[in-house]
Structure 1
Amino acid sequence: MEETLKRVEMLLLSFYQDNPFVQYLGIKVESVEFGKVQLSMQIHHECTNVYKIAHGGALMSVADTAMGAACLSVNKKVVTLDFNINLMKAVPEDQLIYAVGRILHNGARTIVAECDIVDAANKIYGKARGTFFVNEKFAE
């Protein structure tokens, strides 16, 4: 199991290095466990709105990416079927945030995941939940 997780982690890092939108947003993989992934994203000016806070779409993108990465951590490639998010606090420009994606249901055809968007002090900014369709295995 440990060897498979290491292989999946290496593939996951490579997978997101090749993703242009993830690179544009500056999302980085911080940690990978079976069923749980932590990403980070610095809220740069390009990710803000006219109020100089993180645009909701940027936060939705990092949450969707974290949940998708959690799906990859259980060796499944997925696409998003359904997604919702509650944004609880404004994220100021230049803030470093973390998106922690976790698997709630690991089914053969669908996966349900959640994501907390937090800062280094674990202050919560948002919470998301999504349902994902399983396409295939991530790593053989």
Structure 2
Amino acid sequence: MSIPFPVHIPLVEHLGLRLERFADGEAELSLTLDADVHTNSFKVAHGGLLMMMLDVAMAHAARSRNKDAPDGGPGIVTIEMKTSFMRPGQGTLRAVGTVMHATAKMAFCEGRVLDEAGQICAHATGTFKFLRALPVSGRATQALSRVPLQGDGSD
């Protein structure tokens, strides 16, 4: 039986991920693949979907350490993530995230996506930063500009 996500994440909800466990530095998500939504041209789970499941599972593992704080604790953002793919994801998938080490500002996590048989489909490690608020409102955006490098023929 799934539990509610502690925060509203529209993409996660839209894709149908379910939060199964969220406590003590661990989180587990599940997803039953929909061939019309979640798969690639080979009709197996899209790699980007597996990466998102890993990211969300690890971030929720880190967030679970503060879940009993009065305000739910700080938010969290991904700083970096490394993913390895082992086998195609099919059927109902499970993503498990675990905190390996955490400080007041950072969490270092590990995650894996497993298929119905419990075989590993993908593995990741990630670094996450705790934030009270993400400073995005009122920020001006600028187009990227190319800075020529010496010797690249654009001098």
The interval holding the TM-score normalised by the smaller chain is 0.7 to 0.9
Scaled by the length of structure 2, the TM-score of the pair is 0.74
Distance 2:95 2:15 in 1: 13
1:127 and 2:117 aligned: no
Corresponding residue for residue 35 of structure 1: 25
Q: Which amino acid aligns with 1:22?
A: V
Q: Give, in angstroms, the shift of residue 13 of structure 1.
A: 2.5
Corresponding residue for residue 71 of structure 1: 62
Say if 1:114 and 1:129, in contact at 8 Å, map to a contact too: yes
Aligned CA RMSD, in angstroms, stands at: 1.7
Say if 1:102 and 1:115, in contact at 8 Å, map to a contact too: yes
Relative to its length, the structure with more strand (as a share) is 1
Corresponding residue for residue 5 of structure 1: none
State percent identity of aligned pairs. Answer: 32
- How many residues were matched structurally? 123
1:89 and 2:81 aligned: no
Corresponding residue for residue 3 of structure 1: none
Scaled by the length of structure 1, the TM-score of the pair is 0.81
- For structure 1, the 5+ residue unaligned runs are 1-9
Secondary structure (helix, strand or coil) at the match of 1:24 reads: helix
Q: Which has the bigger relative contact order, CA under 8 A and spacing at least 6?
A: 1
- For structure 2, the 5+ residue unaligned runs are 67-73, 134-155
Corresponding residue for residue 150 of structure 2: none
Distance 1:58 1:98 in 2: 12
Relative to its length, the structure with more helix (as a share) is 1
Distance 1:44 1:58 in 2: 12
Identify if the C-alpha distance between structure 1 residues 19 and 109 changes in structure 2 by more than 3 Å, giving closer, same or farther.
Answer: same
Distance 1:14 1:77 in 2: 10
Stretches (4+) displaced over 6 A:
none
Distance 1:84 1:13 in 2: 24
Structure with greater Cα Rg: 2
